[in-house]
Amino acid sequence: MSEKPSISLSAKRAEIKTCAFMVEHNLSFSVMHHFVDLLKDCYPDSKILQEVQLKPTKAKALVKNVIAESQTITLCEKLKNVMFSILIDESTDVSAVQTLCIVVRWLFLLSLFILILFLFLLNCMFFTQILR
């Protein structure tokens, strides 16, 4: 018999799903200053929503440390069983920071589409210091 997840666990799940929604729809993290408060005001009877604490700083951290990590692991697992190519490109932005973009491309056999997915964006300064 499965137990219902606790309100605290459900609130954490809601925070992660809200952050995923923000990223999927390319919404600014500054929206988080008011979004959760708006939801709490609209649904005052939701115990789960009352436990959600989500502002821009936490939302960015969840995207970077939870969602991105999970998606990277999932992508790497998929790539273990297919042939793929890696595309890399180094660029320097206006502040003279060099970055290296790593993109993965492979043929998705079920639909015969070529999938191109962003894998990493790395700071080249980090690698320059390691090589010295």
Residue that finishes a domain, picked among 52, 74, 96: 74
* Residues 63 and 108 occupy one common structural domain: no
Whether residues 26 and 10 share a domain: the answer is yes
The alpha-helical segments, DSSP class H, found in the chain are: 7-24, 32-42, 47-51, 56-62, 68-79, 124-131
The predicted-structure confidence for 67-113, as pLDDT tens digits, reads as follows: 998 988 988 888 888 888 998 888 887 777 788 888 899 887 777 88
| Final residue in a domain of this structure, among 26, 42, 74 | 74
Same domain? For 52 and 94 the reply is: no
Residue at 125: amino acid letter = M
Rounded distance, CA 15 to CA 117, Å?
25
Cα separation of 6 and 13, whole Å? 11
Q: Residue 110: which domain range?
A: 82-132
Tell me which of 24, 49, 74 is where a domain ends.
Answer: 74
DSSP state of 62: H
The per-residue pLDDT for range 25-71, each reduced to its tens digit, is: 999 999 999 999 999 999 999 999 999 999 999 999 999 999 998 98
